[in-house]
């Protein structure tokens, strides 16, 4: 790998450098394999635990609700933490850090990095580097999570969907952050949040239990909140996010021209907070709003609009009707 950029004047709100034409890191490789394979295997096992446990929680959710029930405070806590961590991914990691859909003041920038970290989808710099690589090579061989690189037929498509959904997370090769996220590596605030991802992992799992226990004033309340607002919430958010990589690149409609297989999937709009209007996103990656047509729910765009009204966000890249019309099929 080449050396990290030494300049501190990188515009964090600007879109990430196009890896195919970037002059920042000419000739830098797309990815790398860690020198210590032992550490890589430990990371894979750890990742497996943090994926498998929430899945088991999702599978157990209905039986637990039928047998023991679910309290209204569990629902409130799960909804709040889902909204905070989910919008941390959609507004923060995705539209802001990856694509520069708006500029944010320092406080908002740090808050968005922390909120996205609470989703347990990896540290901010690694997440952004992976996603910028995805856009640079969308549905091509070098796309880290395309569902279209495993052949045709039922077996090939099934394998591709699994790879795009979660299988790619276990690849030993990692995206080169110095090539795909030099702006974030140059920012000390973001490096700090990135470094303390483990602490935010503990916080997002234990805080709901602490609040639930104090709310109900019992250890049963803490345990119930931990199950619903930590385990089940994280599991649901994981699979909703990964569905944009898998389902939204195979099923759905393509009302806009793009150079890949991105699709709009209406029934995922609410849980993905507007991210499932994915075809428009790939047609106009820097747009702050993905649901651009009448009736297309996009809560992430609404939050960006609120940030703009409060003066925390500026230079918001709202979609222009003439550009949208030019890209409609």
Residue 21 predicted with pLDDT over 50: no
Give the lowest-confidence range in 36-50, 221-235, 254-268: 36-50
Higher pLDDT, 131 or 21: 131
- If 0-12 CB within 10 Å is exposed, 13-18 middle and 19+ buried, where does residue 45 land? exposed
Q: Tell me, yes or no, whether 28 lies in a domain.
A: no
* pLDDT score for 38: 76
Whether residue 6 has pLDDT greater than 60 = no
Span of 168-172, 239-243, 246-250 with lowest mean pLDDT: 168-172
Residue range 175-214, pLDDT digits in tens: 999 999 999 999 999 999 999 999 999 999 999 999 999 9
The pLDDT, as a whole number, for residue 47 is: 84
Tokens of 252: 């759905």
Which one, of 278, 93, 263, 245, lies nearest residue 169 by Cα?
A: 245
* Position 15 confidence tier, pLDDT thresholds 50, 70, 90: very low
The set of residues, in sequence order, having a beta carbon less than 8 Å from that of 230 and lying 6+ positions away, is 81, 204, 205, 206, 208, 209
Name the pLDDT band for 12 (thresholds 50, 70, 90).
very low
What is the spatial distance between Cα 266 and Cα 275, in angstroms, rounded to a whole number? 10
Examine residue 181 and state whether it is found in any structural domain, yes or no.
Answer: yes
How far apart (Å, rounded) are the C-alpha atoms in residues 24 and 28? 9
Q: Which of 3-12, 106-115, 270-279 has the lowest mean pLDDT?
A: 3-12
pLDDT for position 5: 32
What percent of the chain has a predicted confidence (pLDDT) above 70? 91
**Which of 52-66, 194-208, 253-267 has the weakest average pLDDT?**
52-66
Instruction: Supply the pLDDT for residue 268.
Output: 97
17 pLDDT exceeds 60?
A: no
Q: CB neighbours (10 Å) of residue 267?
A: 10
Q: Specify if 33 maps to a domain.
A: no
Q: pLDDT tens digits for 304-325?
A: 999 999 999 999 999 999 999 9
What is the distance between the alpha carbons of residues 23 and 37, in angstroms, rounded to a whole number? 31
Integer Cα distance of 89 and 106 in angstroms:
18
For residues 39 and 129, the model is more confident at 129
Model confidence band, residue 171 (pLDDT cutoffs 50, 70, 90): confident
Which domain, by its residues, includes 122? 46-252
Prediction pTM value = 0.88
Beta bridge partners of 328: 256
* End-to-end Cα, the chain, rounded Å: 41
Give the pLDDT of residue 22. 35
Q: Give residue 198's pLDDT.
A: 95
Per DSSP, the chain holds a count of helices (H) and strands (E) of: 14, 4
Q: How confident is the model at residue 13 (pLDDT cuts 50, 70, 90)?
A: very low
Q: Which two tokens stand for residue 256?
A: 């806009």
Q: Over range 123-140, report the average pLDDT.
A: 96
- The domain total for the chain is 1
Which is higher by pLDDT, 98 or 7?
Answer: 98
User: Would residue 300 count as lying in a domain?
Assistant: no
Q: Is residue 21 part of a domain?
A: no
């Amino acid at each position: 790998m080449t050396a990290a950029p030494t300049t501190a004047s990188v515009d964090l709100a600007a879109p990430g450098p196009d890896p195919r034409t970037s002059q920042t890191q000419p000739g830098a490789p797309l990815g790398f394999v860690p020198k210590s394979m032992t550490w890589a295997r430990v990371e894979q096992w750890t990742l497996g635990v943090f994926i498998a446990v929430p899945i088991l929680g999702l599978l157990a959710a209905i039986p637990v609700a039928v047998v023991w029930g679910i309290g209204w405070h569990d629902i409130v806590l799960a909804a709040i933490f889902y909204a905070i961590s989910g919008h941390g991914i959609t507004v923060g990691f995705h539209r802001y850090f990856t694509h520069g859909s708006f500029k944010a003041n320092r406080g908002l920038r740090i808050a968005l990095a922390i909120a996205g970290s609470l989703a347990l989808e990896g540290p901010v710099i690694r997440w952004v580097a992976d996603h910028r690589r995805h856009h640079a090579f969308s549905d091509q061989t070098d796309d880290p999570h395309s569902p279209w690189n495993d052949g045709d037929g039922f077996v090939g498509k099934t394998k591709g969907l699994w790879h795009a959904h979660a299988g790619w997370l276990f690849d030993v090769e990692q995206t080169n952050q110095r090539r795909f996220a030099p702006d974030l590596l140059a920012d000390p605030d973001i490096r700090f949040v990135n470094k303390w991802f483990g602490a935010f992992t503990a916080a997002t799992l234990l805080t709901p239990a602490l609040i639930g226990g104090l709310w109900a004033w019992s250890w049963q309340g803490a345990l119930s909140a931990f199950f619903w607002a930590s385990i089940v919430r994280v599991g649901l958010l994981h699979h909703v996010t990964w569905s944009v990589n898998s389902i939204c690149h195979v099923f759905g409609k393509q009302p806009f021209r793009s150079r890949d297989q991105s699709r709009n999937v209406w029934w995922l709009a609410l849980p993905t907070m507007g991210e499932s209007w994915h075809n428009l996103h790939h047609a106009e990656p820097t747009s702050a709003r993905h649901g651009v047509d009448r009736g297309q729910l996009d809560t992430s765009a609404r939050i960006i609009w609120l940030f703009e009204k409060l003066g925390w966000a500026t230079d918001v890249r709202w979609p222009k009707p003439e550009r949208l019309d030019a890209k409609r099929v």
